[in-house]
Amino acid sequence: MVSSEKPPAAGAEQRLKDLGIALPPPPTPFGAYVEAVKIGKLLFLSGMLPVIDRKPQYVGRVGGELSAKDGRKAAEIATLSALAAIKEHLGSLDKVTGVAKLGVYIATEGDFRDHPKVADGASELLLKVFGTEMLSGRIVLGVASVPLGMPVEVELVLEVAE
Amino acid sequence: MVSSEKPPAAGAEQRLKDLGIALPPPPTPFGAYVEAVKIGKLLFLSGMLPVIDRKPQYVGRVGGELSAKDGRKAAEIATLSALAAIKEHLGSLDKVTGVAKLGVYIATEGDFRDHPKVADGASELLLKVFGTEMLSGRIVLGVASVPLGMPVEVELVLEVAE
Amino acid sequence: MVSSEKPPAAGAEQRLKDLGIALPPPPTPFGAYVEAVKIGKLLFLSGMLPVIDRKPQYVGRVGGELSAKDGRKAAEIATLSALAAIKEHLGSLDKVTGVAKLGVYIATEGDFRDHPKVADGASELLLKVFGTEMLSGRIVLGVASVPLGMPVEVELVLEVAE
């Protein structure tokens, strides 16, 4: 296979390119806040939603009108938004040196229990982009609702090069 | 206009004074924890509730017995409690140099979607007190319930002068 | 009493021994993440669940099929898991120098309001192990659901010796 002849990807930007992933436009706030705040080596991202150009890509609850597969896809879109926000704030994803916390908050209905499957939509994308050496800590919760009726919200606290 | 003749407010304490805002008594814990913990440059606040002197000012869920406007007011009261806790812990609000994370957790019912309106009750108060240069990151979630049946809980992680 | 002749416990490991608490096996991830990430002086733990050897010890919601007492016990088991994860990551609990944030997320049903009683299951165990000088900040929320249908999830952000 040709791909095996490529040298190992040097960093997140190169991996993104190799994967053929195009980032969406960076998200813009729904109120009086900003999308990212850097304190020392930590970058705190605001809650990322499955929107493209402020338009919700999914509405509803997982375990209700939406399936775990829908939730997984929504988590992936929210994480793409997060990557776009990080890139906008830092200039390059290569400045990320660790992922302290990935929070995946899923609007669930009834007795839905497959939260990990939904959250893996976010985790597996981060894994592809940042590699196994930056596997994140993770908090996953089922919540009553997410802003604007969306099914998933993603939180990230990152370690970045100063 | 007279107000345009005032010099720009020097800091949060002066702004609070100019706004005529009197802080409530600092909150006290409902269990075996403390209201604030400082680690290096970060100040972690415990969950702030819409209480005055430990007395809930609102009980119920937004989208149920309470309106978005009630929720917004509750978020504002919880944030005033947060300011009182910060001042008690640091001695002065002027020691705050950034707001890494504002979490606004809203007990919601049914298909409530106007979370940003509720959260803006907290964000706009922070904006008035800390100014645009310290706009926060923000996580907003609809939750099943908040301790003691209150509609809103506010979390803050701040950057403070060491 | 013989116990009064013992010198004061030097640290968390000694206290754990004195209390006769045996830690469970350290938890293992339910997806593409790790149980702990250290950034500078901060240790971020992933969400800890009331499991032993990946087996849920409680399933259900507090205020529904489970009582506040069940929830309290579940919070305690999740916190024991957290202690095991900390020990595995740092080598010794004595390296913990502070507890910035304890998050206790409780799957609640109906009008349950006694969240602090449930959360105290976590707080009181931390108090016994780390002492009053390390009382934590605390966020307590009622959520719609916790992964795998469990009633409680615990989050910890710790300060550790570098």
Residue type (1 letter), A4 = S
In this prediction the pTM is 0.95
CA B137 to chain CA mean position, Å: 13
What are chain A's domains? 2-160 (3.30.1330.40)
A108 touches chain B (CB under 8 A): no
A105 touches chain B (CB under 8 A): yes
Q: How far apart are CA A133 and CA A141, in angstroms?
A: 25
Give ipTM to 2 decimals: 0.93
Element (H, E) at C55: strand C55-56
CA angle C123, C127, C129 (to 5 degrees): 120
Give strand ranges (E) for B33-85.
Answer: 36-39, 42-45, 51-52, 55-56
C139 touches chain B (CB under 8 A): yes
pLDDT value, residue B162: 77
pLDDT value, residue C5: 47
pLDDT value, residue C162: 77
Decide if C144 and A140 are in contact by the 8 Å CB cutoff. Answer: no
The CA–CA distances, whole Å, from A147 to A30, A151, B93, B118, B120 equal: 9, 9, 30, 10, 12
B124 touches chain A (CB under 8 A): yes
B105 touches chain C (CB under 8 A): yes
Which of A28, A30, A33, A101 best tests the B interface by mutation, with the highest count of B CBs <10 A? A33
Q: Which residues of chain A have pLDDT under 70?
A: 1-9
Contacts of A64 in chain C (CB under 8 A): none
User: pLDDT per residue over A69-78, tens digit each?
Assistant: 999 999 999 9
pLDDT value, residue C77: 98
Q: Which residues of chain C have pLDDT under 50?
A: 1-8
User: pLDDT per residue over A55-68, tens digit each?
Assistant: 999 999 999 999 99
CA angle C146, C151, C157 (to 5 degrees): 70
Question: In tens digits, what is the pLDDT along chain B, a chain of 162 residues?
Answer: 344 444 455 799 999 999 999 999 999 998 999 999 999 999 999 999 999 999 999 999 999 999 999 999 999 999 999 999 999 999 999 999 999 999 999 999 999 999 999 999 999 999 999 999 999 999 999 999 999 999 999 999 999 997
Residue type (1 letter), B93 = L
Contacts of A36 in chain B (CB under 8 A): 137
Which of A132, A138, A154 best tests the C interface by mutation, with the highest count of C CBs <10 A? A138
